[in-house]
Structure 1
Amino acid sequence: MGEMSMNKAIHGAFRRDLDRFITALGTFQPGDRARAAQLATAWANFDDQLTHHHEGEHQIAWPALHAVGVSTELLDAMDAEHDTMAAALAETRVAMAGLLRDPGDAQATAAKACFETLRTVTVAHLDHEEAELEPVYQAKKDTPEIKAMGRAFGKTGLARGGRFFSWVLDGASPEERAGITASVPAPVLSIIGGIFGRGYRKEIAPIWAATPPRR
């Protein structure tokens, strides 16, 4: 099994959720207010996780990567892709609010179309980022700059950390799990996720229990 950075493992969680939303909206029954509320809850988490991730990359990861040799031009291109993702997130936000307010067929169709666009632009960015930066993360993982970057990302608070780890491990492949535990020891994950990830496991994970990601 090849090595995987935590960054790439996190990307796997974004891909899974995007597939889950599109699958769920493709089978949405008009008028199902309970399901619309469930999807709105899952959406609030996804929106927060993706926004926090790409804003954190700009503020924390890019300076560290520049310090170990990544060009300004490449990082600017990544930020431009983040802007495209942010625009798609904003459109999806509006569509999901509409579905929650009036869970009709037209609203579900509109939300699904927004998610398909969001998936297209997000996956294109994730693929580009992994192609360009995954080799850097692997080659430079023991440098002071990348280690400091990891510590900075870890300063999120226990509540956010618990929800994050419960989310990122929900449906993760063995390789993705290994990418996480290579940076955060399994006992630490168990404590943080066990105590502070209960909200995710109680409120969001069951939403996807009958909506498995595409493989």
Structure 2
Amino acid sequence: MSATSTPYTQEMIMIHRVFRREADQLRQYVGAVRTGDVARARQLADVVREYIGGLHHHHSGEDELIWPLLHERARVHDDLVSLMEKQHEALDGTLTEIQRLLPHWAATAGDEERDALVAAFAEHGRILHQHLADEESLVMPLVEEHLTLLEWELVGKNGLERMPKDKVFLALGAILEDATPQERAEFMRKVPLPGRIAWKLIGRRQYRGWRASVRGEAR
């Protein structure tokens, strides 16, 4: 349980940081792949697919557990909730285009295929950044006002239960990467003790290894 009786919507901002960072970095990484470097293209294609799956997963939770409640309880702000739904549809369109282009680039690492994918990521990022900013500034205050703490925590629980077990530590590492000490403490406080121990013993190293492989960093 949270220390407050209202939803801790800062969690949503922490998750949004991940999608902003990953979308921007993936566009840069794809753009930096040398012509013909199929091995790197295939590696990044797998990461792009994971990103797409993660964003779909995140948005489906909002579509199922947040927007219907706000439509029901915050009818005076129905236009804002409808805007979120329309932005989700627009983002789905950009992801569909990325998915269409991805196999061609992964197979060839060609210049034209790479440039088309970078352009698709640029358009995706433009819509994503606008959507996340609107959601944080316009809709999270409605969540704090109209959703109960239990309803909000169900969103997080639903997301965790639907996540592939082998991706949990990668997701946790991504969320904690740019978190402030206060955000980190609040987020980890909700993780059961066995999970916190596993993160320290296994998960943190797993995430660093994945990050080094994708970004070309020293571990």
Q: Does 1:85 align with 2:91?
A: yes
Q: Does 1:119 align with 2:125?
A: yes
Normalised by the size of structure 1, how large is the TM-score? 0.79
Q: Does 1:69 align with 2:74?
A: yes
Cα contact 1:9–1:180 (8 A) shared by 2? no
Letter in 2 for 1:173: A
Q: How does 1:1-215 map to 2 (within 5 A)?
A: 5-66=10-71, 69=74, 71-138=77-144, 143-156=149-162, 159=165, 160-169=167-176, 171-174=177-180, 177-178=183-184, 181=187, 184-185=190-191, 187=193, 189-191=195-197, 193=199, 201=207, 204-210=210-216
Cα contact 2:18–2:174 (8 A) shared by 1? yes
Letter in 2 for 1:128: D
Q: Which secondary structure state, in structure 1, belongs to the residue aligned with residue 66 of structure 2? A: helix
Normalised by the size of structure 2, how large is the TM-score? 0.78
- How much does 1:136 deviate? 3.3
Unaligned runs of 5+ residues in structure 2 are 1-7
Identity %: 22
Paired with 2:42 and 2:156, the residues of 1 have a C-alpha distance of 35
The one-character-per-residue Cα deviations of 1:137-161 (angstroms, maximum 9, x if unpaired) are 4556764433444443343256054
Is 79-88 or 152-161 further displaced after alignment? 152-161
Cα contact 1:8–1:134 (8 A) shared by 2? no
Letter in 1 for 2:67: W
Is 184-193 or 75-84 further displaced after alignment? 184-193
Q: How many residues of Structure 1 are paired with residues of Structure 2 in the alignment?
A: 208
Letter in 1 for 2:63: H
Paired with 1:179 and 1:52, the residues of 2 have a C-alpha distance of 25
- Aligned CA-pair RMSD: 3.2
Is 172-181 or 26-35 further displaced after alignment? 172-181
Cα contact 1:81–1:125 (8 A) shared by 2? yes
Paired with 2:44 and 2:103, the residues of 1 have a C-alpha distance of 10
Change (3 A) 1:146 1:202: closer
Letter in 1 for 2:171: F
- Return the structure number with greater helix share: 2
Higher relative contact order (CA 8 A, sep 6+): 1
- How much does 1:203 deviate? 7.2
Cα contact 2:27–2:121 (8 A) shared by 1? yes
Structure with larger Rg: 2
Letter in 1 for 2:88: H
Change (3 A) 1:176 1:98: farther
